[in-house]
Amino acid sequence: MANILLINGSTHANGFNAQLLEKIKELLGEYPHSVSELFWQDIPIFNQSQDYPPPIAVEKVRRAIIASDALFFITPEYNGFCPGGLKNLIDWLSRSINPKNSRGESFIHNRITAVTSAAAGGGTAVRHTMEQLLTFVRTRVVSDNACGVAIKKDDWAKGTLTITDDEIAGLKRFVGEFVEKVSADEALRLNPMI
């Protein structure tokens, strides 16, 4: 059983992306993997001089990442990119585990990753830029250019994310593709002769 971590790019407790995270958690619940949420909002702004040893909050997050097999990011779109706090988290995770080898394996290195978003227009820009960033920090990105949830006009007034049947179908397909990669990776780890 693989360990999948869900990462909300927003600090808004019941925001649209927190609601989308719950939908992703529900869809992942149909598969035989462990699913949990990473709480990272208390980490400080990245500072290279604090990298080794890192602040306690960063160490806790890094341990959770190392124990994971795959990461599923659910993030809002701020000016075409992810929130600064989420970028800061990735900066901390992209650092080398070995302080004597800055180009060595990082805490996030080689994890299977995926990104979706609840945003105006479905978050096309943030999904694209996040996939670029996650590729740059050497994760294995599962991509689906059509998989985001558009925040509808009435959603803003109600504070409730409406997910259409077509969007749910897209999320199911994307989660299925993600789980397929995670399961194949787990099978390879358990039986390297495959």
Instruction: Return phi, psi of residue 8, to 5°.
Output: -85, 120
Tens-place pLDDT, residues 174-183: 999 999 999 9
In angstroms, the CA 104 to CA 186 distance is 23
Pick the CATH number of 3-190 from 3.40.50.720, 3.40.50.9100, 1.20.58.760, 3.40.50.360: 3.40.50.360
Q: What is the mean pLDDT of residues 110-137?
A: 95
Give residue limits of the domains in the chain. 3-190
Sole residue written with tokens 């179908």: 169
Tens-place pLDDT, residues 13-68: 899 999 999 999 999 999 999 999 999 999 999 999 998 999 999 999 999 999 99
Give residue 103's pLDDT.
Answer: 87
Residues 6+ apart with CB under 8 A from 72: 4, 5, 6, 7, 24, 28, 113, 114, 115, 116, 178
Give residue 40's pLDDT.
Answer: 96
Q: How far apart are the first and last CA of the chain?
A: 17
Give residue 189's pLDDT.
Answer: 73
pLDDT at 82 over 90: yes
Tens-place pLDDT, residues 147-191: 899 999 999 999 999 999 999 999 999 999 999 999 998 887 766
In angstroms, the CA 171 to CA 148 distance is 8
Closest CA to 118 of 163, 83, 71, 70: 163
pLDDT at 193 over 80: no
Give residue 2's pLDDT.
Answer: 94
Give residue 50's pLDDT.
Answer: 93
Give residue 192's pLDDT.
Answer: 62
Provide the 8-state DSSP code for 71.
E
Task: For residue 144, name the pLDDT band (cuts at 50, 70, 90).
Answer: confident
pLDDT at 194 over 60: no
